[in-house]
Amino acid sequence: MKWAPLALLPRSALTILREMGRHILRHPVVGVLAIARDNQGKYLLIRRADTGTWTMPGGTLEWGETLRDALFREVQEESGAKVLRVGRLVGVYSRPDRDMRFHAVTIAVEVTVDASHLEPVNRLEVREARLFDATEIPTPLAMGTDAMLQDAMAGGEPTFE
């Protein structure tokens, strides 16, 4: 006879465990995206290694990390640039179909960067980092981030979806 530890639990405890698992495994992932510009007003974009498409630097929050720390870390890891100043909140984006990998809640923030040394840390994730004039930005951007960049360029109140 096999020992089944879960079988020893009361049915009500199993129901609670199942509900906890459903919540833990099906929660949206929180991430941050930098609408990054250098002092000359050029936009910093990264080219993803998995799709070859361009987007802004950003990523998911690590356990115990603040959004601010994640923003600085992701910009540096994905582009080699250094965040000099955090600007306005562009928006909070939560549409479930925006990212094909998972349901993400993305906080987009304007930042000013020192882009004098652009060198992605992880080449398996990011092929290259480059500065673009607003009129030269390649489209479409990855993972539905076009709307985030458009909202940043338009200015105004933060988007909340």
* Fold classification of 28-160 (topology level): Nucleoside Triphosphate Pyrophosphohydrolase (3.90.79)
Q: State whether residue 131 is helix, strand or coil.
A: strand
Tokens standing for residue 119: 């060198």
Tell me, rounded to whole angstroms, the distance of Cα 112 from its chain centroid. 17
The structural domains of the chain, with segments of one domain joined by +, span 28-160
Of 70, 33, 41, 35, give the one whose Cα is nearest residue 135. Answer: 41
Q: What is the pLDDT along the chain (161 residues), one digit of tens a residue?
A: 455 565 666 666 667 766 666 656 678 889 999 999 999 999 999 999 989 999 999 999 999 999 999 999 999 999 999 999 999 999 999 988 877 777 889 999 999 999 999 999 988 899 999 999 999 999 999 988 999 999 999 999 999 99
Q: Say how many residues make up the chain.
A: 161
What is the C-alpha radius of gyration for the chain, rounded to an integer number of angstroms? 19
> Which are the catalytic amino acids?
128
